[in-house]
Chain A
Amino acid sequence: MGLREYIIRRIITTLILIWGVLTINFLLFNAMPGNPMEAYLQNPSIAMNKEYVEELKRIFGIGLPLHEKYAKYMINMLTFNFGHTSPNFAGQKVTDIIFGIALPNTILLMGISSVLAYTIGIILGVFTAYKRGSKFDTFFVASALITSSLPTFWMGLIVQYIFGFTLKLFPIQGTYTVEKVAELSKNPILFWMDRFQYLVLPVMVITLYYYGGFLLLTRACLLEVISEDYMITAKAKGVKKRDMLFKHALKNASLPILTNIAMHFASVVIAGAMIAESVFNYCGLGTITYKAIGMKETPILQAIFYIISLCVIIANFIADILYGIIDPRVRYE
């Protein structure tokens, strides 16, 4: 099978996957107790307005048979028509909240921390593999195990205390300085400085949480190749230690690491570190999801689940195709 046929097959399975995710999404939120109209009806002036209530019933498809509701849902999802949030949730357009605020914020936060986690994890992984059995190795492996076993919210509390309350270096919670936002938005440099101040602590926590996994993985992969003959040859040739580790060893051990990064990127980066966001009250997908669950905001939840799944599916798809380009040994079957 050639690359083209493989891509075509992958596209078909991807479409099936999207359909499946949409269906699960539909069934899940249909099973949720209550209906999205309740939030509107809490407001007496809306509840009194008969016409508006009828209009809402039509919008939410209340009273429709399940298959008609499903058809309507599918059309709306495929056309990215997610509707509005309820008045309790500021009544904004769902797409505005997700694409305008939450998704960019989350990608910024998770992007920075993931890149840091990959870099630190891989570099330390290479060195621990090289110095296996030494105190250096034991220390970093142990710390990697511990930091990846600590709950993120707990680390968040500690980091907030140390850097926020005691040293007063960084703001404790939030996304940006709300009071100064009008003034800051005039000057992009100051604006981003402000944003980055708020990013430091969450990035620190998420990096600490994830680097351990990559350290252990890189170390394991490298140990498999480090005793190969070509490594001994490289050493005998007098290749510099750095080149030997990063050019000879890491390159050959990189496929499982890349697989893992792709999977991690897809599932974690885009899904966002919900917990870390909740500790730092950072306005990303995680915080919005958490708030929406508490307030039974079905429209926004359905949209978030759908969009995250879509991003993951696309990222996986791209990763699969890229493999073949990176590693010529991969065959498409």
Chain B
Amino acid sequence: MTKSREEIAIKIQAFKRIFRQIMESRRSQVGIAIIIFFGIIAAIGPFFTTLDPVNAGSIHSFDELEAAEANCVPEWYQGEKITHNVYPIPTPLFFNASQVSLWNVTEGVIIEYDQEFGYDQNGCVKITFQEEGNATLSVNFYYPYQIPPKSFRGKYRYFITANSNASKTEAKILILPSFKRYGLTAKSYRASMPHFDYFTNEDMDKWKLVRNELISVNPNLKVWYERTYGKSPVDVIFNKPGNYSFELTIQFIGNASKVGNPTVYVDDVQVIVYGNSFGLLGTDYLARDIFTQLVIGTRISFIIGITAATLSTIIGLFYGLISGYVGGILDEIMMRINDMLLVIPGLPLLLVLVYVLGQSMLNIILVVGCLGWMGFARTVRSAVISLKEKLFIEAARAHGAGRFYIMRRHIIPNVFPLVYVTLAMGVPGAILYEAAISWLGLAPLDVMSWGRMLYEFERSGSIATGALTKWYWVLPPGICIAILSVAFVLLGYALDEILNPRLRETW
């Protein structure tokens, strides 16, 4: 017991010494600093990015509006033609008692706050029509840009209830969202085509979400604007900076007593006016935040790089150990198998295997790991063969030490320094392989890696105008791959220098 404790103490000291030596070299300081930096990002990144890196629209759930338009430039970009997102309603209006004051109603219409009801049972606005009339939600905002925004988009939920059925001609509810521009004279513009609801069983007594109508690129709306103004909705509505309001009008047309004082509940109202800039690095062609992709990609590169390198190092170590130590016919067979794997073209084989096994992260790790060990196995084998002839091994054998004992106590500790070096040097290779697989379109569909970011860039068609017109999309992933790879290479060289002293003078 005491002996093993002493041994551990010696080992810890040795580690401390090596660590001190590593930290003395400028190169390894740089390498370790970079690796730690990216490691922190990989570890905590997903907690400070709220957007979805993979699914179109950059949103986690269908209930939310997209965070940004597609093909945005970074937010910090300066220029005359830059607009930012404007949020008339910053967060969706899940109504509370005070927000009822945002509504104006005509006579005979009662507006109140219903605390119990609502889409999520957390309160909503209740509008009761005692006679024909309308209720209007009105939220003021300021649009500061000289040029029109890229688009706008909105949504709302409503719930109609009434006592009796009425035919479509007798009574209906009309919902019309609009933007009002204030100036010398205020003028209203439709934000969507009017939306009619009837008092029939299919239409009543359920929450409905309107999402695809209230959007500036809605074809019906576009056609209407083209015909009326000869321009697109955003060009007409937001053609100058100024005070605006977003209005949502709920109108009852018909005989109220016929349908027994119809009631409309409204909840979850939101509208966003999208500018052409977003986030730290803009968005891609499917409106996904590029910065989020970069942060999430760090984690993927780390996981794939380290696990694949570890896997191939372990396979290579044991393959080399067995082949070198056992020798004879087994060695011959094992080395021939090694040769076979070496001569088959690497990347094509990798691609075919990923294709056969399926596009998943685990498969990429397995394939990259299982195809990267051949060179290391050879190194280990030759190290073992030269060790086997050493006097201290012979002495151990003469003392009656068994094969496994010699392997465990003498051979493995002597080849182990190679493991650290290979591990560090193997990570960049695995990262680059992953990037190549992703670039060729075989990335797993649910994972966004640095390589896949560049693949997505190629697929977006922006390549036809040259890569650097979207430098904020193209440069970061490539530079990150290079920096992280160089960091591991630097660490590898530093370890090599310390652990394999024969190279001390060269590096």
Contact = CB atoms under 8 A, between A and B. Distances in A.
Contacts of B344: 21, 24-25, 305, 308-309
* Main SS class of interface, A: helix
Interface residues of A, number: 52
B436 A157 contact: no
A124 to B, nearest CB: 16
Contacts of A224: 505-506
A237 B83 CA distance: 73
Contacts of B347: 271, 274-275
Contacts of B343: 17, 21, 266-267, 309, 312-313, 316
B345 A271 contact: yes
Interface residues of B, number: 47
B478 interface: yes
B311 to A, nearest CB: 20
Contacts of B485: 149
15 contacts: A20-B337, A32-B355, A149-B432, A150-B481, A151-B435, A151-B436, A152-B436, A153-B454, A154-B477, A157-B467, A158-B468, A164-B466, A267-B345, A275-B439, A312-B345
A23 to B, nearest CB: 9
A32 B466 CA distance: 37
A301 B468 CA distance: 35
A195 to B, nearest CB: 23
Contacts of A289: 345, 348, 351
Contact of A151 (B339, B478, B489, B503): B478
Interface string A262-299: 00001100010011001000000000011001100000
Interface of B: 336-337, 339-349, 351-353, 355-356, 428, 432, 435-436, 439-441, 451, 454, 457, 463, 465-469, 474, 477-478, 481-482, 485-486, 489-490, 503, 505-507
A20 B441 CA distance: 30
4 closest Cβ pairs, A-B complex: A165-B466, A154-B478, A149-B485, A157-B467
Contact of A153 (B439, B469, B505): B439
Contacts, number: 143
A133 to B, nearest CB: 12
Contact of A220 (B345, B428, B506): B506
Contacts of B348: 271, 274, 289, 293, 301, 304-305, 308
A175 interface: no
A316 B343 CA distance: 9
A166 interface: yes
A33 B345 contact: no
Contacts of B436: 151-153, 274-275
A26 to B, nearest CB: 12
A153 B467 CA distance: 11
